[in-house]
């Protein structure tokens, strides 16, 4: 099978729908990247299509993955041998309340649903954050300096403690940053800059990875130029 | 600089073309640059290697198609690693788009390793609720996920007869692209139930999770495509992440070059424009 046949028929055994799916995806990918040259109708079309298809995809996904199996089926079509899950009426009612935002006269009811979500999530999250993040991280910062093996590890742990102190000093606004306090705050800025730099570096890596993913799709799945 | 060459006046499309070539060329002509394994990735590998054969491990798949280039190689390598060690895998998702993405990995790998669905691995699918679901799993995984992804009641799945809560799980590998994800697993599951937790995340979010390694809350971390490539190297199954690392390295070198050139030009221009004293 030569390259042109591969391009239009795919590897042996590939269903035509898959091949044409690759073509559509490739054309849309190129249309999106064409914006890098300059704004153009192809890009606008692909962007609008993406927004529309994306919204439709999530609506369908949430309907079939959440509303049907978690609400409608347990209420109206329970699995054989299981009783009707009456309690699910309450989240169902709250969900309807949320939609009443579109009906001004009863829009205030949506606040009940929001209040429930905010209250419940706050309660669960605060304990989890306090236990799993806040206290544990402070504990780890205090206790790890000399507990880890190796000179380099100890140096890095001490640097981490100095960094925490310096950055916290930078965010201490009750006294003017002058003299020793100003010096420590300046060190804090340096630590923050290093952290932002690392974060930016990882962001670049992430974006390049996505480009590599698209390029791999174009060169391998669509053009069959690489294995 | 009015008459001379000024890098700041370069058409930015020239840079786009360079980036395009820097990504495409290494994919077409791989250079196989060395991949060094970092301690956070080694930590995950060692933790999974230490799990006895036959144990049950959990994969938390919390991502969607937009983060597949970075996260799918992690999922694939983890499942391959688990199957090669005869570990049984329970998959649970907090993102609705995840179950079919994970299934794209498990189905071919199960065929490759001769694993049977329901006995060696099970996909419990998606459950709404985020952190509430995690807390529910701490009490009872079968009650929280009453059916698998295909709708089969968990009571009819042999593997699930041995799973009640996190005490039955040797290690959890959470692959996450956002919220709910790794942070929620650390806060709600690791800290409350003492689960051994490893994680793979997108590069953008990776710096947020390194403190969890130092505190011992994570045994290791896969950060973006680089982390996935390192893990593939350790498992001995180079895949998409490894193939992409040449391009990643070349583009990074190019960007560093641009930054240096830009700064040199900036300082040179400022010096020339400064009034003579």
pLDDT of residue B76 exceeding 50: yes
* Cis check: omega of the bond before B180, within 30 degrees of 0: yes
The torsion of the CA quartet A17, A20, A25, A29, rounded to 10 degrees, works out to 170
- Domain end call among A118, A143, A168: A143
pLDDT above 90: percentage of residues in chain B: 86
Chain A contacts of B211, Cβ < 8 Å? 137, 140
Cα–Cα distance for residue pair B62/B92, rounded to 1 Å: 9
Cβ separation of A212 and B97 shorter than 8 Å?
no
pLDDT per residue as tens digits for the range B20-56: 999 999 999 999 999 999 999 999 999 999 999 999 9
Q: Does A185 share its domain with A199? A: yes
Name every residue whose Cβ is closer than 8 Å to that of residue B65 and which is 6 or more positions away in sequence. Answer: B97, B101
Q: Is the Cβ–Cβ distance between B55 and B90 less than 8 Å? A: no
Which pLDDT score is estimated for B90?
98
Determine contact, residues B87/B55, Cβ cutoff 8 Å.
Answer: yes
Name the band, by pLDDT with cuts 50, 70 and 90, for residue B222. Answer: very high
- Note whether B69 contacts A213, CB cutoff 8 Å: yes
Residue B186, helix vs strand vs coil: helix
Mean pLDDT computed over every residue of chain B: 93
Closest CB to A144: pick one of B69, B191, B214.
B214
**Is B89 a residue whose pLDDT tops 60?**
yes
Closest approach of B5 to chain A, Cα-based (Å): 23
Between chain A and chain B, how many beta carbons pairs sit less than 8 Å apart? 132
- Which residue of chain B is at minimal alpha-carbon distance from A57? B97
Q: Are residues A97 and A170 in the same domain?
A: no
Which residues of A touch chain B, with CB atoms under 8 Å apart?
36-37, 61-62, 65-66, 69-70, 79, 120-121, 124-125, 128-129, 131-133, 136-137, 139-140, 144, 157, 160, 195, 198-199, 202-206, 208-216, 219, 225-226
Shortest distance between the Cα of A203 and any Cα of chain B, in A, equals 4
> What is the Cα–Cα distance from A186 to A189, expressed in whole angstroms?
5
**pLDDT value at position B1?**
47
pLDDT, residue A145, reads 65
Query: In this complex, do A65 and B96 lie within 8 Å of one another by their Cβ atoms?
Result: yes
Residue B16 predicted with pLDDT over 50:
yes
Say yes or no for a CB contact (<8 Å) between A144 and B226: no
Kindly report the pTM of this predicted structure: 0.90
- Same domain as A78, residue A2: yes
Tell me if residue B56 falls in helix, strand or coil.
strand
> Tell me, what's the pLDDT at A224?
93
What's the pLDDT at A78? Answer: 85
Whether B113 is in a domain gets the answer: yes
In a domain, B32, yes or no: no
H or E stretch including A127? helix A110-129
Range of the domain at A125: 85-143
| ipTM at complex level | 0.89
Which are the contacts of A15, defined by CB distance < 8 A and separation ≥ 6?
Answer: none
Q: Are residues A53 and A100 in the same domain?
A: no
Domain-located, residue B257 = no
Asked if A74 contacts A84 with a C-beta cutoff of 8 angstroms, the reply is yes
Q: Which range of residues forms the domain containing residue B123?
A: 39-239
In a domain, B209, yes or no: yes
Residue B3's pLDDT band, with cuts at 50, 70 and 90, is low
Which residue's entry shows tokens 């054989």? Answer: A80
Whether the pLDDT of residue B272 is over 90: the answer is no
Which pLDDT tens digits describe chain A residue by residue (227 residues)? 788 888 998 888 899 999 999 999 999 999 999 999 999 999 999 999 999 999 999 999 889 888 998 899 989 988 777 788 899 999 999 999 999 999 999 999 999 999 999 999 899 889 889 988 899 999 888 876 666 678 888 888 888 899 999 999 999 988 898 999 999 999 999 999 999 999 999 999 999 999 999 999 999 999 999 98
Residue A154 and residue A225 in one domain: yes
The answer to whether residue B121 is domain-embedded is: yes
Residue B178 domain-assigned (yes or no):
yes
Per-residue confidence band for B214, with pLDDT thresholds at 50, 70 and 90: confident
When mean pLDDT is compared across A141-150, B96-105, B198-207, the lowest value belongs to A141-150
Neighbours of B16 (CB within 10 A): 13
Number of structural domains in chain A: 3
Which of A126, A143, A160 marks a domain boundary? A143
Is residue B6's pLDDT more than 90?
A: no
Q: Is B194 on the interface with A (CB under 8 A)?
A: no
Residue B105 within any structural domain of the chain? yes
Inter-residue contact B141 to B165 (CB < 8 Å): yes
What are the CA-CA distances from residue B17 to residues A44, A220, B28, B254 (Å)? Answer: 21, 20, 16, 12
Residue B170's domain is classified under what CATH number? 3.40.50
Q: Do A91 and A40 lie in a common domain?
A: no
A134 and A169, same domain (yes or no): no
Per-residue pLDDT of B120-159, as tens digits, reads: 999 999 998 899 999 999 999 999 998 899 989 999 999 9
Write out chain B residues lying below 8 Å of A54, CB-based.
none
Q: Are residues A10 and A54 in the same domain?
A: yes
Q: Which of A83, A102, A120 is the last residue of a domain?
A: A83
Contact B217 A136 (CB under 8 A): yes
* Number of independent structural domains in chain B: 1
């Amino acid at each position: 099978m030569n390259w042109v046949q591969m391009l239009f028929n795919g590897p042996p055994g590939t269903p035509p729908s898959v091949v044409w799916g690759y073509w559509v995806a490739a054309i849309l990918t190129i249309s999106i990247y064409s914006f890098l040259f300059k704004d153009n109708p192809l890009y606008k079309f692909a962007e609008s299509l993406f927004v529309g298809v994306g919204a439709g995809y999530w609506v369908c996904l949430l309907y079939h993955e959440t509303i049907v199996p978690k609400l409608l089926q347990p209420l109206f079509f329970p699995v054989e041998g299981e009783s009707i899950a009456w309690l699910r009426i309450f989240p169902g009612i709250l969900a309807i309340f949320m939609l009443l935002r579109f009906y001004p006269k009863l829009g205030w009811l949506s606040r009940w649903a929001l209040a429930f979500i905010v209250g419940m999530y706050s309660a669960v999250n605060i304990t989890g954050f306090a236990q799993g993040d806040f206290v544990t991280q402070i504990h780890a910062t205090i206790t790890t300096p000399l507990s880890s093996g190796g000179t380099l590890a100890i140096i890095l742990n001490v640097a981490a403690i100095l960094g925490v102190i310096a950055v916290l000093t930078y965010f201490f606004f009750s006294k003017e940053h002058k003299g020793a306090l100003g010096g420590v705050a300046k060190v804090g800025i340096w630590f923050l800059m290093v952290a932002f730099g690392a974060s930016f570096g990882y962001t670049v890596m992430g974006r390049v990875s996505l480009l590599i993913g698209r390029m791999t799709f174009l060169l391998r799945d669509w053009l069959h130029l690489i294995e | 600089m009015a008459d001379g060459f000024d890098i700041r006046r370069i058409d930015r499309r020239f840079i786009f073309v360079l980036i395009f070539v820097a990504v495409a060329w290494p994919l077409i002509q791989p250079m196989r640059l060395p991949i060094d394994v970092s301690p956070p990735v080694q930590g995950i590998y060692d933790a999974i290697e230490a799990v006895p054969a036959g144990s049950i491990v959990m994969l938390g798949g919390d991502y969607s198609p937009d983060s597949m280039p970075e996260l799918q190689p992690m999922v694939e390598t983890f499942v391959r690693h688990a199957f090669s060690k005869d570990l049984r895998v329970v998959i649970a998702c907090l993102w609705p788009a995840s179950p079919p993405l994970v299934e794209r990995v498990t189905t071919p790998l199960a065929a490759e390793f001769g694993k049977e669905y329901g006995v060696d691995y099970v996909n419990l699918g998606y459950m709404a609720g985020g952190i509430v679901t995690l807390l529910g799993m701490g009490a009872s995984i079968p009650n929280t996920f009453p059916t698998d992804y295909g709708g089969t009641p968990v009571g009819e799945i042999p593997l699930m007869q041995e799973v009640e809560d996190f005490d039955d799980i040797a290690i959890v590998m959470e692959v996450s692209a956002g919220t709910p994800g790794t942070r929620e697993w650390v806060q709600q599951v690791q800290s409350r139930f003492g689960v051994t937790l490893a994680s793979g995340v997108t590069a953008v979010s990776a710096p947020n999770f390194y403190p969890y390694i130092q505190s011992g809350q994570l045994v290791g971390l896969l950060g973006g495509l680089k982390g996935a490539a390192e893990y593939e190297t350790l498992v001995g199954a180079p895949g998409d992440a490894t193939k992409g690392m040449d391009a990643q390295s070349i583009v990074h070198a190019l960007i560093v070059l641009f930054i240096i050139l830009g700064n040199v030009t900036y300082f040179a221009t400022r010096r020339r424009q400064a009034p003579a004293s």
